[in-house]
C-alpha cells in the first residue's frame, strides 16, 4: 500500500480520497475548506496544513482542482515540486486545458518528476461509488505505475498517449456528447411536433443509424426513460454549467489548434444561453427544454 498526498477535496476529490483510504492506502490531504478536511480526517486521512506539508512523505501526489489557473498556480507559481520526494509520481485529475496540462508536466519533468494528466468522467456518483473513468496522458511506464492507484477510485483506466492527451480525449469526448445530446433533443422535439410518439421514435432510432449514447441511456425527453434526469425534473446528473465549462475548454483548444468545430462551438453558445436563462444547475439533458420552450 502506498503513501499518497491528495490535494483538493471538493465534491469529486473528497469521495475519491476516501476510496483510496478504503483500499488501504495512507493519505495525507490538503484543501482550503476546513469542512472538507474534517470530513477526510473522519475517513482516516492525515490532515496537512499546506500542500507542501501534504506532499512531503508521499510516493504519489494526486490533485483534483477546479481549473487551469489553480493547477498552474499550485505546481508552477508556488513550485510545489520543491517539496515533493524524489521518485514520487504526480497525477493531476483536474479537467483543464491540454496546453496547461502539458506546461505543468514539462515543468515537472524539468525538476526530475514524472507527471500524468488523468481527468475523470462519471460525476459525483461515480466518485462516491469508485466507478469513475480515468483517461491518462503520460509515458507508458508512468501509466503502468499509476494504474493500480487509480483503480481504487475507478473502473475504466485508459491510456490516451503522451502528456496532455488525457485532457484532449476528455474534451473531445464531452464535446461530442454535448453535440449528440442536443441533436437527440432536436430530433425528439421535431418528431413530437410532427406527430410521432417519442417512445416509438426513440426505439426506432436506437436500432438505426441515429443511435448514440444520449438516446440509449440518457433520453432527454421526460417520460421516455425511467431513472434518467429528464424524468426527475432534470435533477442529478451532469450540470449545464459543468458542460459549458468543458465546452469552453474544447473551444480554447480549437482556437489554439486552428480547428473548425461549427457544431461544437454552437453547442457552447446554446448551453451558455441556457445557463444565462437560469438553468445552470439543471442536468445538461435539459437543453431539450431550452429548445422546446414553455409556450
Among 66, 124, 176, 236, binds a second copy (CB under 8 A): 176
Q: How far apart are CA 55 and CA 17, in angstroms?
A: 14
Which stretch, 55-63, 146-154, 220-228, 285-293, contacts a second copy (CB under 8 A)?
285-293
Q: Does 295 bind a second copy (CB under 8 A)?
A: yes
Among 160, 225, 228, 230, binds a second copy (CB under 8 A): 160
Under 8 Å CB-to-CB from 43, ≥6 apart: which residues? 17, 18, 21
Q: Does 272 bind a second copy (CB under 8 A)?
A: yes
Active site residue 281: no
Q: Does 259 bind a second copy (CB under 8 A)?
A: yes
Nearer of residues 233 and 269 to a second copy, judged by Cβ: 269
Q: Does 254 bind a second copy (CB under 8 A)?
A: yes
Indicate the pairing of strand 46-47 with strand 114-117: unpaired
Binding map of a second copy across residues 137-156, x = CB under 8 A, - = no contact: -------------------x
Nearer of residues 13 and 164 to a second copy, judged by Cβ: 164
Among 23, 162, 231, 236, binds a second copy (CB under 8 A): 162
Nearer of residues 17 and 160 to a second copy, judged by Cβ: 160
- Contacting a second copy within 59-118 (CB under 8 A): 98
Nearer of residues 24 and 293 to a second copy, judged by Cβ: 293
- What region, left, alpha or beta, does residue 238 occupy, with left being phi > 0 and alpha being psi -120 to 50 degrees? beta
In the block, residue with C-alpha cell 438553468 = 279
Q: Does 227 bind a second copy (CB under 8 A)?
A: no
Cell of 107: 515543468
Which parts of 135-208 fold into alpha helices (H)? 140-151, 165-193, 198-206
DSSP state of 78: S
- What region, left, alpha or beta, does residue 123 occupy, with left being phi > 0 and alpha being psi -120 to 50 degrees? left
Nearer of residues 49 and 295 to a second copy, judged by Cβ: 295
Minimum CB–partner distance for residue 41 and a second copy (Å): 34
Among 204, 223, 232, 233, binds a second copy (CB under 8 A): 204
Check if the beta carbon of residue 168 is closer than 8 Å to that of residue 137: yes
Under 8 Å CB-to-CB from 32, ≥6 apart: which residues? none
DSSP state of 45: P
In the block, residue with C-alpha cell 503522451 = 162
Q: Which residues are catalytic?
A: 170
Amino acid at each position: 500500500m502506498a503513501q499518497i498526498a491528495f490535494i483538493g477535496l471538493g465534491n469529486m476529490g473528497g469521495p475519491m480520497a476516501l476510496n483510496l483510504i478504503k483500499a488501504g492506502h495512507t493519505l495525507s490531504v490538503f484543501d482550503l475548506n476546513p469542512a472538507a478536511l474534517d470530513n477526510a480526517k473522519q475517513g482516516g486521512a492525515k490532515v496537512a496544513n499546506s500542500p507542501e506539508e501534504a506532499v512531503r512523505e508521499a510516493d504519489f501526489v494526486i490533485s483534483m482542482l477546479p481549473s487551469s489557473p489553480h493547477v498552474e498556480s499550485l505546481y508552477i507559481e508556488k513550485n510545489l515540486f520543491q517539496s515533493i520526494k524524489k521518485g514520487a509520481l504526480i497525477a493531476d485529475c483536474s479537467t483543464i486545458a491540454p496546453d496547461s496540462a502539458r506546461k505543468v508536466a514539462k515543468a515537472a519533468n524539468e525538476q526530475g518528476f514524472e507527471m500524468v494528466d488523468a481527468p475523470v468522467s462519471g460525476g459525483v456518483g461515480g466518485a462516491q461509488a469508485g466507478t469513475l473513468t480515468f483517461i491518462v496522458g503520460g509515458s507508458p511506464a508512468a501509466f503502468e505505475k499509476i494504474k493500480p492507484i487509480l483503480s481504487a477510485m475507478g473502473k475504466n483506466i485508459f491510456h490516451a498517449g503522451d502528456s496532455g492527451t488525457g485532457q484532449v480525449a476528455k474534451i473531445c469526448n464531452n464535446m461530442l456528447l454535448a453535440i449528440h445530446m442536443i441533436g437527440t433533443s432536436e430530433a425528439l422535439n421535431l418528431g413530437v411536433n410532427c406527430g410521432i410518439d417519442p417512445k416509438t421514435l426513440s426505439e426506432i432510432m436506437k436500432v438505426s443509424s441515429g443511435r448514440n449514447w444520449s438516446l440509449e441511456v440518457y433520453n432527454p425527453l421526460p417520460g421516455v426513460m425511467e431513472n434518467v434526469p429528464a424524468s426527475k425534473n432534470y435533477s442529478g446528473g451532469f450540470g449545464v454549467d459543468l458542460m459549458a465549462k468543458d465546452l469552453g475548454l474544447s473551444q480554447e483548444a480549437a482556437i489554439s489548434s486552428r480547428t473548425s468545430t461549427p457544431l461544437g462551438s454552437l453547442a457552447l453558445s446554446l448551453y451558455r444561453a441556457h445557463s444565462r436563462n437560469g438553468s445552470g444547475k439543471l442536468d445538461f439533458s435539459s437543453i431539450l427544454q431550452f429548445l422546446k420552450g414553455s409556450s
